[in-house]
Amino acid sequence: MDKMDLTGVFAPLPTPFDENDRVDPRRLRSALQQWLATPLNGFVVLGTNGEIGLLSDDECDAVVETARAIVPAGRPLIAGAGRESTQATIRVVRRAASLGADAVLVRTPSFFKSEMTHDNLARYYGAVADASPVPILLYNFTTATGVNLAPATAAVLAEHPNVIGIKESGSDIAQIADLVALTPPGFRVLGGSATIFLSALCAGAAGGILALAALLPDACARLFDLARAGRLEDARTLQRRLVPVARLISGRYGVPGLKAALALRGFDLGAPRPPLAPVTAAALAELRDALAAFEVVTA
Amino acid sequence: MDKMDLTGVFAPLPTPFDENDRVDPRRLRSALQQWLATPLNGFVVLGTNGEIGLLSDDECDAVVETARAIVPAGRPLIAGAGRESTQATIRVVRRAASLGADAVLVRTPSFFKSEMTHDNLARYYGAVADASPVPILLYNFTTATGVNLAPATAAVLAEHPNVIGIKESGSDIAQIADLVALTPPGFRVLGGSATIFLSALCAGAAGGILALAALLPDACARLFDLARAGRLEDARTLQRRLVPVARLISGRYGVPGLKAALALRGFDLGAPRPPLAPVTAAALAELRDALAAFEVVTA
Amino acid sequence: MDKMDLTGVFAPLPTPFDENDRVDPRRLRSALQQWLATPLNGFVVLGTNGEIGLLSDDECDAVVETARAIVPAGRPLIAGAGRESTQATIRVVRRAASLGADAVLVRTPSFFKSEMTHDNLARYYGAVADASPVPILLYNFTTATGVNLAPATAAVLAEHPNVIGIKESGSDIAQIADLVALTPPGFRVLGGSATIFLSALCAGAAGGILALAALLPDACARLFDLARAGRLEDARTLQRRLVPVARLISGRYGVPGLKAALALRGFDLGAPRPPLAPVTAAALAELRDALAAFEVVTA
Amino acid sequence: MDKMDLTGVFAPLPTPFDENDRVDPRRLRSALQQWLATPLNGFVVLGTNGEIGLLSDDECDAVVETARAIVPAGRPLIAGAGRESTQATIRVVRRAASLGADAVLVRTPSFFKSEMTHDNLARYYGAVADASPVPILLYNFTTATGVNLAPATAAVLAEHPNVIGIKESGSDIAQIADLVALTPPGFRVLGGSATIFLSALCAGAAGGILALAALLPDACARLFDLARAGRLEDARTLQRRLVPVARLISGRYGVPGLKAALALRGFDLGAPRPPLAPVTAAALAELRDALAAFEVVTA
């Protein structure tokens, strides 16, 4: 890959487990073959939806290796690689790179939330970017971490040649607009919230890394294309139809909901890892109804 | 006026006080003459920026009367008319209508925040809409009130023939998109936050009621026109330049900041009413710099 | 009254309405006779639980007049008298005093939350205390107002000879301890949350103004006495038994819940004023059960 | 140890690092000798203040082993042992037990905050308690995790014979009172917030695990004794004097502040691990002043 183009729609992939709660490379290979047949621009393993917080370092290696063996060059493969200490993150970033990840996605540390000041975050990401053999994407997910990587901090980091973009999972559209305004043109701001994806694009985002894209890749790619083409009315209609599904898998039922919904669409990813539990029958019915409602209208 | 068209950019007007802290109709007349010469689509008196919470009912009457005598038919004059009890709101709405307001803007009650359930809000607005001689605009301003008028509630109220729109002051773009999606085409969703005005328009809002529009009416009108014309890139550039000023007057320095900034632009509205205090010299300098920076770039 | 002693347990009284949603002095007189027969140390009219936000100024006058005619000297009668503007609060405070209130309870203004800085609050309360013919009690109720009157601000105000105490409705026990520590010995810190009343007393509070005290005056007075006597184990047991009822009337069901619960105990206060609505049958049953559970154990 | 008595004051110990950012057993041994000479009832290693989030599993082992070699039987040595997945926590708990920890402190998982429901937490702690060779202490620290272990959930878990208590780091005194009320007499509720330690004891807590106790062990032990003896007035005075220091090390300056303050008191624990950074010179001066102010008054 000459220069990675992080424009478009990327899917964060859930990590499949087998019946004994072990990472299951066979299931991952099989699901990846299905995702490769979609118009998705690239893939993220070991993100929040990949249950990264519940995996050991060895398991992380296995996931990157397995994915890399399947995902061809030209389709960016991004590996989540944030840890809490600077030294641990550097170790993990190097491993991911050596196993073939095209870029790494580095979430803000959050164990000591109140210490995650501008200075500490700038030093942390600077050290990681210096040490990483591959480009890094910043990753801000305040709802999950309680930490906010402010646009002013991202703007400083965007000057590092090895920092190529940010995944901003929040739905504060002013913050997304600030990120676009304060960073250079080549720096990619990727939205992380499917419910406001159109708004993020209107605000200048270059694309998105969306759990919803793992589930409804064609629709998410279409929404991106409509927005790019300036067909706002059609884009709004599609965005609106995607919202109910997006809310169920990203908000209400989380990773267990995403895995259950993917199962309804023919993906076999096993159960989430405890303490996560599979969704209830009622939640499953709700997911089925939302997917059916979406498909009926779009068919 | 045949049928009011609440599309475009509206300004909420500060209430001028004289040196003895009394409402000053002379200053209001004079300022209104200045605003009438701008491309603003209409005006709101007695809104949050009109220090409505600090005015007596008699003072409210004086403001509406004074404004009506100046604002010509065809430029909608909207009067803020929310009170905490249903009976008080109905009284005030009727007075505003009898004094010539074209429509009333009715903020959610908030004295008993946790009681402002769907049912209670639906009953409240239903009773007010039934009793009002003029159309009503719902008004949701969660940051100020601690109450959220959910899109599902607004959707029910939008079916009342006397409820013609909503001012949504929040910056939750998903909520604005929901309001647009859940209400009939003729129902107007107006943004209330200048920092995300472009995003609100992209999400389907019909316009905005923006404190910033009182201060920079031409620029706000131009932003609206650019968005309408699908010139997103230019619109983003203008939006970005407006943000620093918008944040100072709506967030950081509030009504005192707005009055001070207006004074810098040649409007004489007196001081805010205690317990509000005029801005400090440092704040004034900050406002002056932000305005100058905006003008330099746009000139 | 020589010198008011604001030590002990005070009840904020709901305002009774008649079938036409008018203030009902007859019902108020009758209920006051019942409360006078309890060990309560004094009474607050026109507080939050008195639906002050929903009353006109004339109605406020009627409530103070009616109560004063019944409550004998020696049992402090405190009138809620906060308004949003400094001038309006001064007017109301003077009226309450002229109608016989022994003291006034002045809630922080909150229409412009972000403007309620130390300086603005200090000026506001200073002006009100200067103008008031009777002593004033500060009133901090952050959950309801979104404004926090910081202990450092209260400490400054406590030096004014006409400021005799504070009602702190929050449950932040560190803030209550700070208030006690930072104010002079004669300044009374009164808790406003029945669920943590014992903790407030342990932290040095002189008593409380508790909605629960209108409903269960004997039990609240007993809790105060036990804490004063250092019988912490017994006090904890009683506090714990009071919590379920306290949570229903102050948190879950608010003023409608308090009025309904009082009706179950033989008080006739009519319905709450719209937009408040009476509690549902299910809520009423829950209140009845909680009261019954409390009485069974204490009997 | 026959039966562990988790009554009294425990200190969570910072983890010392050497100049190369490696865990430093020598410094730990030396500091432990100093702490053993205090009246502290026991010690917690690998807690939040032990920078547990920044340590590898091997480093955790080294800390437990080192501490166990020094802390004599009879002074409980508790090891923090929470991880995000159930399987990882079970592994870590077993290692800590095999290395001599008397009990383990298991913080709520928080990677998937919204999934930490009653059911998932009950299953998680149940599985851990079943598997643990030593008793477990629940650990709720909502400010740090965004997860709240509700008293109703703790009450269910308290019935497990291997769950002996909870560290509740919050300052919601009603929640502490609920924990005491809903759990059996032998179950120990330990406060985790020094600023409200006295209030927690008044509410029925059996003691505390307090960062402040690592810094001011004698004063914390004295506060506990005063409260136990019913000397509330003296206890309040001491609590109040401790608050400024407690706020600096637990709130404002966090673990870097605690390490810096300990250095001022003759403990050598090295710097915090990046991304944490040592406190600034200004912060150090503030800590020095607060400690000096405390010592002057208590001397």
User: Which of B3, B113, B167, B259 is the catalytic position?
Assistant: B167
D60: its two tokens: 């955790």
Judging contacts by C-beta atoms under 8 Å, the chain D residues touching residue C195 are: 174
Is residue A264 within a helix (H) or strand (E), and if so which, with residue range? Answer: helix A254-264
Give pLDDT, residue C299. Answer: 58
Give pLDDT, residue A251. Answer: 85
Q: Which of A203, A230, A240 sits opposite B181 (nearest CB)?
A: A240
Judging contacts by C-beta atoms under 8 Å, the chain B residues touching residue C53 are: 84-85, 111-112
Beta strand spans in B68-180 (E): 77-80, 103-107, 136-140, 163-168
Residue percentage of chain A with pLDDT more than 70 = 98
C203: its two tokens: 């932290």
Query: Do the Cβ atoms of A240 and B171 come within 8 Å?
Result: no
Query: Do the Cβ atoms of B236 and A204 come within 8 Å?
Result: yes
Counting as contact any 3 or more CB pairs under 8 A, the partners of D are: A, C
**Is the interface score ipTM higher than 0.90?**
yes
Give pLDDT, residue C27. Answer: 98
pLDDT tens-digit profile of D81-110?
999 999 999 999 999 999 999 999 999 999
Judging contacts by C-beta atoms under 8 Å, the chain B residues touching residue A239 are: 177
pLDDT at A263 over 90: yes
**Residue D251 near chain C (CB below 8 Å):** no
Burial class (CB in 10 A: 0-12, 13-18, 19+), D155: middle
Cα D205 to Cα C84, C234, D214, D215, D284: the distances in Å are 42, 15, 19, 21, 33
pLDDT tens-digit profile of A140-158?
999 999 999 999 999 999 9
Please give the mean pLDDT across all residues of chain B. Answer: 96
Judging contacts by C-beta atoms under 8 Å, the chain C residues touching residue B85 are: 53-55, 273-275
**Residue C256 near chain B (CB below 8 Å):** yes
Alpha-helical regions (H) of C160-253 = 173-182, 197-202, 211-215, 217-228, 232-246
**Residue D240 near chain C (CB below 8 Å):** yes
Give pLDDT, residue D1. Answer: 43
User: Which of A3, A113, A167, A259 is the catalytic position?
Assistant: A167
Q: Is D167 a catalytic residue?
A: yes
Cα B157 to Cα B83, B151, B203: the distances in Å are 18, 10, 21
pLDDT tens-digit profile of A86-142?
999 999 999 999 999 999 999 999 999 999 999 999 999 999 999 999 999 999 999
Query: Do the Cβ atoms of D112 and A53 come within 8 Å?
Result: yes
Name A115's Cβ contacts closer than 8 Å, sequence gap at least 6.
D254, D255, D256, D275, D276, D277
From first to last of its 299 residues, chain C has per-residue pLDDT tens of 446 889 999 999 999 999 999 999 999 999 999 999 999 999 999 999 999 999 999 999 999 999 999 999 989 999 999 999 999 999 999 999 999 999 999 999 999 999 999 999 999 999 999 999 999 999 999 999 999 999 999 999 999 999 999 999 999 999 999 999 999 999 999 999 999 999 999 999 999 999 999 999 999 999 999 999 999 999 999 999 999 999 999 889 999 999 999 999 999 999 999 999 999 999 999 999 999 999 876 65
pLDDT tens-digit profile of D167-187?
999 999 999 999 999 999 999
Query: Do the Cβ atoms of B203 and A199 come within 8 Å?
Result: yes
Task: Say which DSSP state D161 is in.
Answer: T
Give pLDDT, residue D183. Answer: 97
Chains C and D in direct contact, meaning 3 or more beta-carbon pairs closer than 8 angstroms: yes
Alpha carbon of A299: minimum distance to chain D alpha carbons (Å) = 33
**Residue B171 near chain A (CB below 8 Å):** yes
Give pLDDT, residue C251. Answer: 86
Nearest CA in chain D to A111: D53
Give pLDDT, residue C4. Answer: 80
C48: its two tokens: 């939050």
Average pLDDT over residues B50-63: 98
Beta strand spans in chain D (E): 8-12, 42-45, 77-80, 103-107, 136-140, 163-168, 188-191, 207-209
Q: Which of C53, C116, C146 sits opposite B146 (nearest CB)?
A: C146
Average pLDDT over residues B241-250: 96
**Residue C58 near chain B (CB below 8 Å):** no
Query: Do the Cβ atoms of C199 and D199 come within 8 Å?
Result: yes
CA distance C261 to C280: 12
Give pLDDT, residue B1. Answer: 43
A219: its two tokens: 């629709």
Average pLDDT over residues D62-79: 97
Q: How many CB atoms lie within 10 A of CB C286?
A: 18
CB A93 within 8 A of CB A131: yes
Judging contacts by C-beta atoms under 8 Å, the chain C residues touching residue D240 are: 177, 181
Cα B287 to Cα B242, B291, B294, C251: the distances in Å are 13, 6, 11, 42
Query: Do the Cβ atoms of C87 and B21 come within 8 Å?
Result: yes
Q: Which of D174, D178, D199 sits opposite C203 (nearest CB)?
A: D199
Query: Do the Cβ atoms of A174 and B174 come within 8 Å?
Result: no
Give pLDDT, residue A1. Answer: 43
**Residue B198 near chain A (CB below 8 Å):** yes
Cα D214 to Cα A290, D258, D267: the distances in Å are 54, 9, 10
Chains C and A in direct contact, meaning 3 or more beta-carbon pairs closer than 8 angstroms: no
Nearest CA in chain A to B241: A181
Residue pointed to by tokens 């598997």: D131
Alpha carbon of D36: minimum distance to chain C alpha carbons (Å) = 30
pTM for the full predicted model: 0.95
Q: What are phi and psi of B104, to 5 degrees?
A: -125, 150
Cα B208 to Cα A121, A188, A277, B42, B213: the distances in Å are 37, 30, 45, 10, 9
pLDDT tens-digit profile of A47-83?
999 999 999 999 999 999 999 999 999 899 999 999 9
